[in-house]
Amino acid sequence: MEISTTKQFDLHRRMVRIRLFEEAAGRLAEANRLPGFLHLYVGEEAVASGVCGALNDDDHITSTHRGHGHLVAKGGDFNRMMAELMGKATGYCKGKGGSMHISDTSLGMLGANGIVGAGSPIAVGAAFANRYRGRGQVAVAFFGDGSTNIGAFHEAANMACALHLPIVFACENNEYGEFTPRHKTMAITDIVDRAAGYGMPGVIVDGMDVIAVHEAAVEAVERARQGGGPSLIEAKTYRYYNHHGIQNLGLKYRPDEEVATWKQRDPIFTFEDRMIENGVATREKVDEIWAELRQDIETAIQFADDSPYPTPDQIMVDVYTKSSTSNTTVGTKS
Amino acid sequence: MSDERKLSYGQAFNEAVSQMMEADPDVFCAGEDIGAFGGVFGTFLGLQAKFGEHRVVDTPISEQAIVGLGVGASVTGLRPIVDLMFMDFICVALDQIVNQAAKLKYMFGGEASLPMTITTAGGGGLSAAAQHSQSLEALLCHIPGLKVVMPSNPYDMKGLMISCIKDNNPTVMIKHKRLLGMSAVVPTEAYEIPLGKGNILRPGTDVTIVAYARMANEALIAAAELAKEGIECEIIDPRTLQPLDADLIVDSAKKTNRVVVVHEAVRFGGLGGEIASQIQELAFDYLDAPVTRIGAPFSPVPFSPALEQHYIPDAKTILAGVREIMQRNVIRG
């Protein structure tokens, strides 16, 4: 598959945006400037970027607790993302969702999700709606290796295949379910083995290679768009930081050498080397991109810092959607 | 002729769905056995033949995915009706109902709406035992973001179901299994009964009975009997439990000064506690007696008819409850 220069820069840009956003978020969390939990996507950038690079703006994705990368890859706005992480009124969720529920339905990003496995059934619903409307849109469910052990995944995968829906199941196999290695929680090595059980094609790709991910995604997305039904992509990848936060818990659940080995295959740096080697990019051009996007991050942090917190009167706002058929007040008196 | 047309409770549900599917191409149904088979209670009969397999969808036995289908389809613009065969099965799908459907709008800062209706069948009286007979409405009413509806008759069923489908929030329509065959006059045209508006099923002056679904009908039987004793019961059917029409209940309590709340669900932690609490908060000075709560004992629903008939409250239980509260008086100072 020929990947155009424009597309290569596009994929690269998505990855760098994710890396910069996540590193900035990590620094802010270390400085106790972010409330709540933080699950960083650093190391896995090639997966979200490669897959979202194969999607149209009106295609849908569901995400996970590690969801910033998916939103950035779908075109998320740094300012509103950073503001949400800080719990500000200008954030994507007006300070009501935070890191674990960050979303932009206008970009087709149907939310990060605090419940492992819960995004897949929602993606099935989006895929159903897409086929129902017949506009050729597809849905992608991002999920981790660990979530293939929960019932929701099984139900979603089976239903998607039974109904032959336009959906791609994109598994980020980072080898750990929170702090427990994959081999202790399942008897198989490759998640892709599960695809056959539902009657869908599955493929393993190097999740540290954005081109490999992208090529697999283009094929799966095209299959879905053409009415060929669901497929599963297993991207072998790795998260550099802990399940949540950076390393500040001092937890030892994986060897330092393992982390170091994966970092040598960094998805961004290896891709940059390739682009330069192939004459697609120059070091100067690459540095320019980083500098430009770094500036965007600084702007976003400033925007978030300057933004107001939501006021207490917002607590009861948006619990319900106002209905055209019911003008009664909702909720009981308190 | 059409003014006198009678439908069963189940047929009224079916007609509401059918008319809304005709009116709005974004409405579709999905659930177990609802297609060619028409649903295990027949409430979806004929809909697939009329609207096609793409709009009346047979699903795998996968409650999480069924509700997830509704969540994903509604958040992307459709108006799904997803059916969970028995109310007990909501437990299999609780993550999608409680953590997803109810909360997405709020968590997304309002940038989503989920116009989906979850339909299910609750209640006992069929010797269906502990996993096919429960009344779990209190559990759902406790979750901000959901609306919960339990009609007591065919007329209300049709109007409330149409309102559920048109509502832009996740609503749960709970059909009572023992009411499915209940017949009454139902208008042929589509009409709405607003969610959150209760109904005075029977006006009265001496005591208020708050009861919904099948218990509203048992209350009517009890009230007819009590009238012979000179006790005039006012029966309030909230129809929607979330949002609850507290105003209607409190106004009635202020008028009659005595309230009995009845539900088929177990008494402990049931809606009766919430209703009694709101009455004492808003009408304490009007009460001549503590609010009486009638509900099932705190056990799973038993199987044998010999046990179940004593387990589920009925007109006799309500009679006893009313007679007792009529004996109690506070001395007004």
Nearest chain A residue to B77, by CA: A129
Nearest chain B residue to A108, by CA: B76
pLDDT digit string, tens, across residues A186-238: 999 999 999 999 999 999 999 999 999 999 999 999 999 999 999 999 999 99
Q: B residues 61-100 near A, CB within 8 Å?
A: 62-78, 80, 95-96, 99-100
A103 touching B (Cβ < 8 Å): yes
What distance in Å separates the CA atoms of residue A278 and residue A224, rounded to the nearest whole number? 32
Residues ≥6 apart with Cβ < 8 Å to B19: B162, B190
What distance in Å separates the CA atoms of residue A147 and residue A246, rounded to the nearest whole number? 22
Q: Which residues of A touch B54 (CB under 8 A)?
A: 132
- For testing contact with chain B, the best of A86, A131, A132 (most B CBs within 10 A): A132
Looking at residue A249, what is its pLDDT?
A: 57
pLDDT digit string, tens, across residues B207-240: 999 999 999 999 999 999 999 999 999 999 999 9
DSSP string, A29-90: HHTT-S-S-----TT-HHHHHHHHTTS-TT-EEE--SS-HHHHHHTT--HHHHHHHHTT-TT
Query: What DSSP state is assigned to residue A213?
Result: H
Q: Indicate the residue of B65, B145, B168 with minimum beta-carbon distance to A121.
A: B65
pLDDT digit string, tens, across residues A81-131: 999 999 999 999 999 999 999 999 999 999 999 999 999 999 999 999 999
**CA A85 and chain centroid, separation:** 15
For residues B8 and B154, the answer to whether their CB atoms sit within 8 Å is yes
Q: Indicate the residue of A97, A114, A130 with minimum beta-carbon distance to B108.
A: A97
CA angle, B247 then B252 then B253, to 5°: 100
Q: Do B246 and A317 touch (CB under 8 A)?
A: no
How many residues comprise chain B?
Answer: 333
**End-to-end CA gap in chain B:** 57
Q: Mean per-residue pLDDT for B304-314? A: 97
Nearest chain A residue to B191, by CA: A325
pLDDT digit string, tens, across residues A240-256: 998 887 775 567 889 98
Tell me the average pLDDT of chain B: 97
Work out the pLDDT band at B329, boundaries 50, 70, 90. Answer: confident
For residues B145 and A319, the answer to whether their CB atoms sit within 8 Å is yes
pLDDT digit string, tens, across residues B89-121: 999 999 999 999 999 999 999 999 999 999 999
A333 touching B (Cβ < 8 Å): yes
B133 touching A (Cβ < 8 Å): no
Q: Is position A183 within any domain? A: yes
For residues B240 and B160, the answer to whether their CB atoms sit within 8 Å is yes
Nearest chain B residue to A324, by CA: B167
Mapping DSSP to helix (H, G, I), strand (E, B) and coil, where does residue A202 land?
strand
Strand A167-173, strand B183-185: pairing: unpaired
Topology annotation, domain B2-185 = Rossmann fold (3.40.50)
DSSP string, A78-127: HHHHHHHHTT-TTSTTTTSS-GGG--BGGGTB----SSTTTHHHHHHHHH
Q: Which residues of B touch A104 (CB under 8 A)?
A: 111
What distance in Å separates the CA atoms of residue B143 and residue A231, rounded to the nearest whole number? 35
- For testing contact with chain B, the best of A159, A307, A313 (most B CBs within 10 A): A159
Q: A residues 299-318 near B, CB within 8 Å?
A: 317-318
Q: A residues 31-60 near B, CB within 8 Å?
A: 60
Is the pLDDT at A326 greater than 90? The verdict is no
Q: Is the peptide bond before B243 cis (omega within 30 degrees of 0)?
A: yes
Mapping DSSP to helix (H, G, I), strand (E, B) and coil, where does residue B260 land?
strand
Nearest chain B residue to A98, by CA: B107
Q: Do B112 and A103 touch (CB under 8 A)?
A: yes
Which CATH number is A137's domain given?
3.40.50.970
What distance in Å separates the CA atoms of residue A94 and residue B226, rounded to the nearest whole number? 55
Name the nearest CA neighbour of A44 among A276, A207, A217.
Answer: A207
CATH 3.40.50.920 fits B199-327, yes or no: yes
Which residues of B carry out catalysis? Answer: 132
Q: Which residues of A touch B30 (CB under 8 A)?
A: 128
Q: Is position A321 within any domain? A: no
Name the nearest CA neighbour of A67 among A2, A126, A143, A6.
Answer: A143
Looking at residue B145, what is its pLDDT?
A: 98
Neighbours of B141 (CB within 10 A): 21
Q: Is position A322 within any domain? A: no
**CA B167 and chain centroid, separation:** 16
Q: Which residues of A touch B195 (CB under 8 A)?
A: 323, 325-326, 328
B126 touching A (Cβ < 8 Å): no
Residue in this structure with the two tokens 């901000």, named with its chain if needed: B144
Nearest chain B residue to A89, by CA: B109
Neighbours of B291 (CB within 10 A): 22
DSSP string, A166-184: SEEEEEEE-SEETTEEHHH
Q: Which residues of B touch A96 (CB under 8 A)?
A: 106-109
Across A182-186, B131-135, B192-196, B315-319, least confident range: A182-186
Is there a shared CATH topology between the B2-185 domain and the B199-327 domain?
A: yes
Q: A residues 108-167 near B, CB within 8 Å?
A: 110-111, 113-115, 118, 120-130, 132-133, 139, 151-152, 155-156, 158-159, 162-163
State the nearest Cα–Cα gap between B325 and chain A, in angstroms. 26
pLDDT digit string, tens, across residues A5-34: 999 999 999 999 999 999 999 999 999 999
State the nearest Cα–Cα gap between A265 and chain B, in angstroms. 35
Number of domains in chain A: 1
What distance in Å separates the CA atoms of residue A120 and residue A168, rounded to the nearest whole number? 10
Q: Which residues of A touch B162 (CB under 8 A)?
A: 325
Residue ranges covered by each domain of chain B: 2-185, 199-327
Is the pLDDT at A331 greater than 60? The verdict is no
Q: Which residues of B touch A155 (CB under 8 A)?
A: 60, 62-65, 68
pLDDT digit string, tens, across residues A136-193: 999 999 999 999 999 999 999 999 999 999 999 999 999 999 989 999 999 999 999 9
Q: Which residues of B touch A121 (CB under 8 A)?
A: 64-65, 67-69, 71-72, 96
- Indicate the burial class of A203 (C-beta count within 10 angstroms; 0-12, 13-18, 19 or more): middle
> With a cut of 0.85, is the ipTM above it?
yes
What is the domain extent for residue A50? 5-314
